[in-house]
């Protein structure tokens, strides 16, 4: 990874058609930019999906990215959302090792982060945490010392605050 690390968020509304994800991802790849996270899911309109893409690109290039994305025929809207007030969330599932000795400790950490325990065995505990990516990062780093067996993160999803559309 390059010295300078940037994370720019682009929110993209696309028609739910075959190959759209490849087109969007390919367009980014062709510009030699790393995709930090990409989440896709349906919107209020089943024919339309929203992609939230976090890319490693300097802020001055983000708008030019959004412009290129808008050129894709299936892209209905592409916004570089940095700079506008937004709500950003990510969900992570984390499976950590537990022993009778560490179980309570981990539950306490989970409590602070408002994480849910979604599965428990005598040797593992699975936790679900939601929040801004930094919060998830912090939670993960606290759990590291217990031994994270597996983890899955959704990548960031974002909406603009207030009545205005993202």
Cβ(37)–Cβ(153) under 8 Å?
Answer: yes
Q: What are the residues facing 128 on neighbouring strands?
A: 93, 116
Q: In whole angstroms, how far apart are CA 113 and each of 74, 120, 131?
A: 39, 18, 9
Q: How far is the CB of 63 from another protein (least distance, A)?
A: 8
CB contact set of 13 (below 8 Å; sequence gap of 6+): 43, 48, 49, 50, 51, 75, 76, 77, 78
Our CB check for another protein shows the closer of 18 and 85 to be: 18
Q: Which residues bind another protein (CB under 8 A)?
A: 14-15, 18-19, 22-23, 26-27, 30, 63-64, 67-68, 70-76
Q: How far is the CB of 72 from another protein (least distance, A)?
A: 7
Q: What are the residues facing 116 on neighbouring strands?
A: 128
Q: How far is the CB of 27 from another protein (least distance, A)?
A: 8
Specify the residue for token string 């969900």: 91
Q: How far is the CB of 73 from another protein (least distance, A)?
A: 5
Our CB check for another protein shows the closer of 19 and 100 to be: 19
Our CB check for another protein shows the closer of 62 and 133 to be: 62
């Amino acid at each position: 990874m390059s010295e300078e690390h940037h994370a720019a968020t682009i929110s993209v509304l696309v028609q739910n058609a075959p190959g759209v994800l490849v087109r969007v991802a390919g367009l980014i790849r062709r510009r030699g930019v790393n995709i930090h996270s990409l989440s896709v899911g349906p919107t209020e309109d089943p024919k339309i999906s929203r992609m939230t893409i976090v890319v490693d690109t300097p802020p001055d290039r983000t708008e030019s990215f959004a412009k290129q994305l808008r050129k894709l025929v299936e892209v209905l809207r592409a916004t570089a959302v940095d700079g506008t007030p937004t709500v950003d969330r990510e969900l992570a599932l984390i499976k950590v090792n537990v022993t009778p000795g560490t179980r309570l400790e981990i539950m306490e950490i989970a409590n602070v982060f408002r994480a849910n325990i979604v599965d428990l065995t005598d040797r593992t505990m699975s936790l679900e945490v939601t929040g801004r990516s930094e919060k998830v990062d912090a939670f993960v780093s606290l759990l590291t010392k217990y031994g994270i067996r597996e983890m899955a993160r959704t990548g960031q999803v974002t909406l603009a605050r207030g009545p205005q559309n993202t």
